[in-house]
Amino acid sequence: MPWIYLAIATVFEIAFALSANASRGFTRLGYSILTLVIGAFGTFFLSLALISIDVAVGYAIWTGLGSVGIVLFGVLLFDERLDWRKLLGIGTVIVGVVGLELSGAGV
């Protein structure tokens, strides 16, 4: 179950960044409130995951996969470029996440 909580927290992390972008520096009230609510839910699910998963592993996976998701959504939704440097970064994050999970440092 903790890995499911971590996956849910990661989805909220991606939604948080997208909503923060849409808030335009917290100048748009609806998106600003949504950003705060999404951030709270993401933190809640992360805290549930960290009951059983080592904080270093859980936080690294949460931020790493969140970053990958945000890059991919940036490409899909905002026509941002996906060059070889971003692909290398995504690959590095994925290798790191797999390495952390295989280390047995979690649950």
Residue 58 inside a domain? The answer is yes
Residue 30 inside a domain? The answer is yes
Structural domains of the chain, count: 1
Residue 10 inside a domain? The answer is yes
- DSSP per-residue string spanning 39-55: HHHHHHHHHHHTTTS-H
- The helix, strand and coil proportions of the chain, stated in percent and rounded to the nearest 5, come to 80, 0, 20
Rounded CA gap, 34 and 71, in Å?
A: 20
Residue 60 inside a domain? The answer is yes
Nearest CA to 101 out of 38, 56, 46 is that of 56
**63-100 pLDDT, tens digit each:** 999 999 999 999 999 999 999 999 999 999 889 888 88
Residue 69 inside a domain? The answer is yes
Structure tokens at 3: 């890995």
Residue 107 inside a domain? The answer is no
Instruction: Enter the pTM of the model.
Output: 0.85
Phi/psi for 37 (5° steps) reads -65, -45
Note down the domain range covering 11. Answer: 2-102
Rounded CA gap, 7 and 51, in Å?
A: 14
Work out the pLDDT band at 105, boundaries 50, 70, 90.
low
Structure tokens at 61: 């996976």
**17-74 pLDDT, tens digit each:** 999 999 999 999 999 999 999 999 999 999 999 999 999 889 988 999 999 999 999 9
